[in-house]
Copies of this chain bind each other. A is one copy, B any other.
Amino acid sequence: MDDMVDLQSMGKRARQASRQLAQLPSTVKDRALETIADNLHNRQDELLRANGKDITTGQNTGLPDNILGRLLLDSTKLESIADDIRRIAALPDPTGENYDIRTLPNGLEISRRRTPLGVIGVIYESRPNVTIDISALCLKSGNAAILRGGKEAINSNKALAAVVRDSIFSAGIPRDAVQFIESPDRTLVSKMLKLSGYIDLMIPRGGAELVRHVAEEATMPAVTGGIGVCHTYVDRTANEDMAVEIAYNAKTSSPYVCNALDTLLIHTDVAPTLLPKIASRLGASNVTLNCDSRALSILGLNSSLIKAATDLDWGHEYLSLTAAIKIVDSLDDALDHINTYGSGHTDVIVTEDHTSATRFLDIVDSSVVMVNASSRFNDGAQFGLGAEVAISTNKTHARGPMGLQELTSYKWIVVGEGQVRN
């Protein structure tokens, strides 16, 4: 069968399933999620067998250990995924709520009602837990999903998708509400990005290359997110201990994620005392600091962790135990740097000065702007959204952490008594 025809047919079936899904009460959707969680336990043997094939293939093809680690499923991981699904089931249903309710002067009653988006496409890389996680988030928000996972996890993903489809079917939801593209054919990604008639929102979950490819090629709206060049600016009036702890946490608590610190900007007045403290705290955790010339003149080159920055360091997302350090003369210089080199993800000011804090919050044009807190807090669960689909750096639709509500649309409801327009 021609792949394009196949995808079209998947799209049609997803659209059909999404219409049924949109009409189901919360209880049915929640029961489906709980059944998925139960079956992750009940069908553990089959899941671990499928995962074992991927691990063997990965070892034979020389996948690096960190990728193999992400790929590996075991009973503890499966229980933890099941717990996550049960937590999603327990969240409030994001759809159905009427808001902006009002009566117009002509008596028409109007409101907006939150509805599912319809069909969500997801393209992701090697973590098989995404198959379960994103299925649960889409189902909870009343959306059908078409999933495309990475080839390294193909057997695991197929087995997990089968568990999802069987589970939801037994709870009264059509199997086609979640469909998984099984063919490893790479051209299918481009074809999927053309299915604007059947996919309402495309979500890439993976590295910067995948996110950019989807942003460029998708003919439907797509989430752009997960690329975080995060700045922390330490103002002249900062509490120095606080600045050290925020920089340390932002860089070291999880250096491989998008909300980790990349560039530390330090006001020149406090740099001579503060920078050595920060270098010492970060150095103890093996963080390499790529320093501009002024920072270098304060720290000296007497550690292998202190290096000279080049122009390529500004605006660079490290995803590793490295940060760039720049000394600035003023808040305005820091703002200029961030608006020039930032990616609109997460930027932080450490200050005791109310005017500086306010100016920073006003002027920095990023999805999350913070005063006196670690950039690592830019996260759906941390923000109390209950779950996270992505961290969007788009300005339309949703910005920052996307929870269940950000997977919804709305329609206008108008109820009259025969009103006509003059």
On chain B, the residues within 8 Å of A400 by CB distance are 411-412
- In the assembly, how many copies of this chain are there? 2
The answer, among B216, B242, B253, B421, for a CB contact under 8 Å with A219, is B216
Whether B399 pairs with A221 at a CB distance below 8 angstroms is no
- CB closest chain-B residue, reference A376: B421
Give A221's nearest chain B residue, CB to CB: B396
A420/B246 in contact, CB under 8 A: yes
Q: Of all chain B residues, which has the CB nearest A253?
A: B421
Residues 91-111 of chain A, each 1 if its beta carbon lies under 8 Å from chain B, else 0: 000000000001010001010
Beta-carbon contact of B374 and A339 below 8 Å: no
- Distance, CA A215 to CA B129, complexed state (A): 34
Question: Are A383 and B110 in contact (CB-based, < 8 A)?
Answer: yes
Interface size class of A (residues with CB under 8 A): 35 or more
Q: Determine whether A19 belongs to the interface, using a CB cutoff of 8 Å to chain B.
A: yes
Q: In the complex the two chains form, what is the Cα distance from A23 to B359 in whole Å?
A: 10
Is A341 at the interface (CB under 8 A from chain B)?
no
Question: A363 within 8 Å of B by Cβ?
Answer: yes
Mark contacts of A278-301 with chain B using CB atoms, 8 A cut-off: 1 yes-contact digit, 0 otherwise.
000000000000000000000000
Given A23-B362, A395-B409, A409-B395, A245-B418 contact (CB < 8 Å) = yes
Known pairs A363-B23, A400-B412, A410-B399; A418 contacts B383 (CB<8 A): no
> How many Å lie between the Cα of A223 and that of B207 in the bound state?
28
Interface centre among A104, A384, A422 (most CB of B within 10 A): A384
Q: Are B373 and A419 neighbours in the complex by a CB distance under 8 Å?
A: yes
Asked if residues B366 and A411 are in contact (CB atoms below 8 Å), the reply is yes
Let me know if A371 and B419 touch, CB within 8 A: no
Asked if A368 is at the interface of the complex by the 8 Å CB criterion, the answer is yes
**Inter-subunit contact A418/B102 (CB<8 Å):** no
Residues of B within 8 Å of A113, CB to CB, are 361
Q: State A394–B368 Cα separation when bound (angstroms).
A: 26
* Chain A residues within 8 Å of B, Cβ to Cβ: 19, 22-23, 102, 104, 108, 110, 113, 115, 117-118, 196, 200-201, 215-216, 219, 221, 239, 242, 245-246, 248-250, 253, 339, 357, 361-363, 365-374, 376-378, 382-384, 394-397, 399-401, 409-422
Q: List the 10 shortest-distance A-B pairs measured between CB atoms, nearest first.
A: A373-B416, A249-B420, A395-B409, A242-B418, A376-B421, A370-B414, A221-B396, A396-B397, A368-B412, A397-B397
